[in-house]
Structure 1
């Protein structure tokens, strides 16, 4: 966005000699677009094939073009201090045009590479390289813009034009949607932008990421859609009543994002132009939002082809760029890298029984299983899982060791996300340091801080709002390597009027990336579905750096999993008071929870940092702290002994005899089975009947090396009556530290139904990630 005095000077003093302009055009019989090769191949012409040009190309600063801003650099223009400002069309004087490094027009596509000029000085800027690709389809044009910056890092965060848009002064009404429910055909906002000299800037939100300038009477005009750019600035400059492409008067707006130019960054984004009435323009952009844009009809979205190949000519629906046996179209659908022979939609398994595959956002994945490959009969066990570019994983239950699995994918724009995966310096990134963090860098797709004391924030200044209603299960995915000693990540987000903050437990001193999934609707009681700004902070960090691989919001509204599953990750608000009886437990922990040992009055519970903490009245060791889940449809719903039960348990007590474990086939306080592990590595399975320990099928001392303050996932599964598969998984080292199959002896009491829960004998233990499925399958 030009400053006020810049705009006045530009509009009054710079008169073009249009006779020297060299234009190049594309037409498809519906619309026509033209670029001026003498001024950086800027877009200065867009019309219906039989209509008038709707753009303004009065001087080097008009057009539709790329323009970026950096730090103050001592330059001046129009009597005021200026800043570093590479402009695609050139400097403010006509004798300072940009340099066209490459240009092709195939008849169906325009490509240009440009070396821009500094707007205020006219200096050629070899450290900046701009590119654009232009195609037509129907009544729309698609412009893919890229800017690479190899200069020294700028410091100041600036509002950047994405892109700058100058249209005919005759188009006076600015139409857009600014409400809280985008893409639902709610009423549009129409603003008649008042012409002024000097022009008066207006600022608006456009939460569907598009806006259109239209004629007041006919409601026809031109619309511009830049996905993920929701802020805009606009004005109309009145330099006389003349209208048309070469008139000094103009109407202007620019979608904006805020970021700084860092050394080696690459800014890449898409813009779509449409001609028609405001209603028709909106529908055209709705179609792109829902279905993507594929100008060459090869089944692959243009934006994906540009991202992967920097061209629409490299891949087709039958080509196989990396010769891995998967066509490039298959890799597009799967969300995998078409240039990596080792990456495809391949299913692998991990030690914790989870299935793993590569993928991407904007994809839905289905996991199926069968027990007989020859039968060719597959059953869904998970459908519509939202993809993730870092990893995709699912832990199957209700299946046995001998079962087989497969995964399939489909493209679903409704599964797209908002956020950052830090590949180069994507335009959505507006992260900046705060608190004690003095610098951030991006290397190999990872955002890093090497500062060794990070008690405060990194912050986004402005970015796409997350319009996901609470009922749609909005999730925040943070994948990071926390190399500091802190154990808590604070997520703070801002809406128009509310600040929300909550801390979540994370691992510390990481040597590998960890992914944390946070359901915002259940984690924050006043979640509104709209995020204006996000902060992340590591609480009380005294040493170590951090790395971020992605920070993404995604919508998992139509994901479905297996039936008969009870899960609880205890994401309620932190509680300052303890629950000491079943009424308080139901109110604070959850309505489906109760004490399993009502006589143990020394036990108290609360939710804190997304887990259940156990407190002690006295003594330090308690007889048995049990939390039992009573939800209908668990083990007492006709499932017999078939189930899978797991939870993440952590023992912070230094006492070697402090146990933690799982209770299963629970009938009442005197009848149940128990598997437990102690701080000295002792593992036991105990069978209780009428309050008496009847048997101890497992009793092994030193079965594994237990680590204090470390979370372990304990799993008990039963596929056959009175036979149990038992597993202890170290969540830090990602290894199975204990595994056992046990069948109860004939003389042991048989509990055939019942409930499941968690157990500890120390007031320094915690429970998390409870899962109980009324199907077998370790």
Structure 2
């Protein structure tokens, strides 16, 4: 099952057709013993997608090796999955399966929890490249296609699958719901690959020792079915007893969910219940009309090979730099909304009233490398105040004890502001996230943000641009 379906245990207690792509006929129930495979391969690895279940990846192996991917139900595989409101999601009065009620809007690539497969509407196979487009199913509902399409592009390069993924949303419900954690994508391995390794320290890309994530879920209701951690190297791997397996490297996410499910550890095939799970996650607002893309590479090999590939491909840049040219760059809000998709060169934010939190994505930089943060913004408010908050790798959340006031002028004029948290004793070590806390905003007050980051630091506080 996908991450949301597992989390559904913790909450136990009519789709409008917008184009001819969203088929009106019922999706067939898929016989799990049958498949319609499309494979690509090179001299190192072989990858296969099942066209009966949305083109989700059901096969990945080293040449001559065993299949890594678990497919005991249509919430496993390697597949796309997204989350948004409302909770519960009940289109035209259709009710979700009881213990998935808390998932809300949750289209997934393979199919729904009633075994209806997602419909593939386009597919191309070029031998070492593969493309698939599908209409996903709403996981919690019985035979409810999503008002969206998923696209996947796969290309093989040595022992690596380079994946690019895109959501094209066309929801009839145009409300902007709060951001939720998205899997980028969900990756489920067979039980043999039972160990998870990643890097958790403050010295990334130095070859420092890895950490094994030991999170075992034996089944049943739980508030913490999976572990969650943040890695500045942006990768984690599921390996067998010999240290070989599958690495997942995300270009967007430093946070991962993961863990092992089942009572039998270290063995099992594609049809067995036990599984090991990894999912790069990032909190995102999923607009009714958004086109959301991300890239993730899947590396097959030893831990040493996986880490070396990531080191070779990762640019050594100092974060943060959030430009908002064509996207929110992972920023989300509590107590506010924005003007919606598409994003054009700024975040145009409107407050609900009272306090609000505008949070950047999980990231990583060393405090000593980023002594000051530049913010270019226009606040329109009579009484609202603003502060920059930060979270270190040792903190579980934001705190006013780790904050610095931003003396914004509330006349609606765009200005450059410099904030220097480096003179605060609490600003040290690895910094993993920043946020802007707005206090005492009136309903309808606005904040337009052009830029948050390091570029252009220092600037004169209050300088009009």
Query: TM-score, normalization: structure 1?
Result: 0.50
Aligned twin of 2:424: 524
Aligned twin of 1:464: 362
Aligned twin of 2:105: 84
Q: Identify the match of residue 374 of structure 2 among 477, 496, 515.
A: 477
Q: Note if contact 1:162-1:254 (Cα within 8 Å) is conserved in structure 2.
A: yes
Aligned twin of 2:125: 105
Alignment partner of 1:490 is 2:391: no
| Alpha-carbon distance in 1 for matches of 2:201, 2:455 | 20
The Cα shift of 1:35 comes to: 1.0
Alignment partner of 1:432 is 2:333: yes
Say if 1:491 and 1:454 are closer, same or farther in 2 by CA, change over 3 A.
farther
Deviations 1:168-217 (A, max 9, x none): 1011111001112222221100134436234843233323211111112x
| 43-52 or 269-278, larger mean C-alpha shift | 43-52
Say if 1:197 and 1:483 are closer, same or farther in 2 by CA, change over 3 A.
closer
Q: Note if contact 1:66-1:87 (Cα within 8 Å) is conserved in structure 2.
A: yes
1:743-762 map, 5 Å? none
The Cα shift of 1:417 comes to: 3.6
Q: Note if contact 2:5-2:100 (Cα within 8 Å) is conserved in structure 1.
A: no
Say if 1:537 and 1:568 are closer, same or farther in 2 by CA, change over 3 A.
closer
| Alpha-carbon distance in 1 for matches of 2:125, 2:262 | 35
Secondary structure, aligned partner of 2:52: helix
Secondary structure, aligned partner of 1:81: helix
Q: Note if contact 1:458-1:536 (Cα within 8 Å) is conserved in structure 2.
A: yes
| Alpha-carbon distance in 2 for matches of 1:555, 1:209 | 26
Alignment partner of 1:238 is 2:238: no
| 190-199 or 177-186, larger mean C-alpha shift | 190-199
Q: Note if contact 1:467-1:530 (Cα within 8 Å) is conserved in structure 2.
A: yes
Say if 1:544 and 1:34 are closer, same or farther in 2 by CA, change over 3 A.
same
Secondary structure, aligned partner of 1:179: coil
Aligned twin of 1:224: 248
Aligned twin of 1:177: 199
Alignment partner of 1:53 is 2:71: no
Aligned twin of 1:504: 406
Deviations 1:30-66 (A, max 9, x none): 1111111111111111111222211112221111111
Deviations 1:396-437 (A, max 9, x none): xxxxxxxxxxxxxxxxx32364454335545x5241133xx4
| Alpha-carbon distance in 1 for matches of 2:72, 2:5 | 18
Secondary structure, aligned partner of 2:311: helix
Alignment partner of 1:212 is 2:212: no
1:143-162 map, 5 Å? 143-151=163-171, 152=173, 153=175, 155-162=177-184
Q: Identify the match of residue 2 of structure 1 among 4, 12, 25.
A: 4
Aligned twin of 2:44: 30
Aligned twin of 2:453: 552
The Cα shift of 1:252 comes to: 1.3
| Alpha-carbon distance in 2 for matches of 1:157, 1:202 | 20
Q: Identify the match of residue 133 of structure 1 among 134, 153, 166.
A: 153
1:399-410 map, 5 Å? none
Aligned twin of 1:365: none
Q: Note if contact 1:484-1:509 (Cα within 8 Å) is conserved in structure 2.
A: yes
Q: Note if contact 1:115-1:126 (Cα within 8 Å) is conserved in structure 2.
A: yes
Q: Note if contact 2:178-2:333 (Cα within 8 Å) is conserved in structure 1.
A: no
Say if 1:516 and 1:213 are closer, same or farther in 2 by CA, change over 3 A.
same
| Alpha-carbon distance in 1 for matches of 2:96, 2:80 | 21
Question: Runs of 5+ in structure 2 lacking a partner?
Answer: 11-28
Q: Identify the match of residue 276 of structure 2 among 248, 251, 255.
A: 251
Alignment partner of 1:93 is 2:114: yes
Q: Note if contact 1:490-1:503 (Cα within 8 Å) is conserved in structure 2.
A: yes
Question: Runs of 5+ in structure 1 lacking a partner?
Answer: 9-14, 290-412, 557-566, 570-609, 611-710, 712-730, 735-778
The Cα shift of 1:466 comes to: 2.7
| Alpha-carbon distance in 2 for matches of 1:16, 1:174 | 31
Say if 1:284 and 1:544 are closer, same or farther in 2 by CA, change over 3 A.
same
Aligned twin of 1:534: 434
| Alpha-carbon distance in 1 for matches of 2:77, 2:417 | 44
| Alpha-carbon distance in 1 for matches of 2:134, 2:374 | 37
The Cα shift of 1:7 comes to: 7.7
Say if 1:515 and 1:34 are closer, same or farther in 2 by CA, change over 3 A.
farther
Q: Note if contact 2:35-2:51 (Cα within 8 Å) is conserved in structure 1.
A: yes
Q: Number of residue pairs matched?
A: 424
Aligned twin of 1:282: 307
| Alpha-carbon distance in 2 for matches of 1:568, 1:92 | 54
Q: Identify the match of residue 88 of structure 2 among 60, 72, 77.
A: 72
Say if 1:553 and 1:226 are closer, same or farther in 2 by CA, change over 3 A.
farther
| Alpha-carbon distance in 2 for matches of 1:180, 1:456 | 32
Say if 1:507 and 1:220 are closer, same or farther in 2 by CA, change over 3 A.
same
Secondary structure, aligned partner of 1:479: strand
Q: Note if contact 2:9-2:99 (Cα within 8 Å) is conserved in structure 1.
A: no
The Cα shift of 1:257 comes to: 1.8
| Alpha-carbon distance in 2 for matches of 1:265, 1:243 | 39
Say if 1:526 and 1:555 are closer, same or farther in 2 by CA, change over 3 A.
farther
The Cα shift of 1:455 comes to: 6.7
| Alpha-carbon distance in 2 for matches of 1:191, 1:180 | 17
Say if 1:553 and 1:149 are closer, same or farther in 2 by CA, change over 3 A.
farther
Query: TM-score, normalization: structure 2?
Result: 0.80
Say if 1:420 and 1:117 are closer, same or farther in 2 by CA, change over 3 A.
farther
Secondary structure, aligned partner of 2:402: strand
Say if 1:488 and 1:72 are closer, same or farther in 2 by CA, change over 3 A.
closer
Q: Note if contact 2:389-2:435 (Cα within 8 Å) is conserved in structure 1.
A: yes
Secondary structure, aligned partner of 2:248: strand
Q: Note if contact 2:179-2:332 (Cα within 8 Å) is conserved in structure 1.
A: no
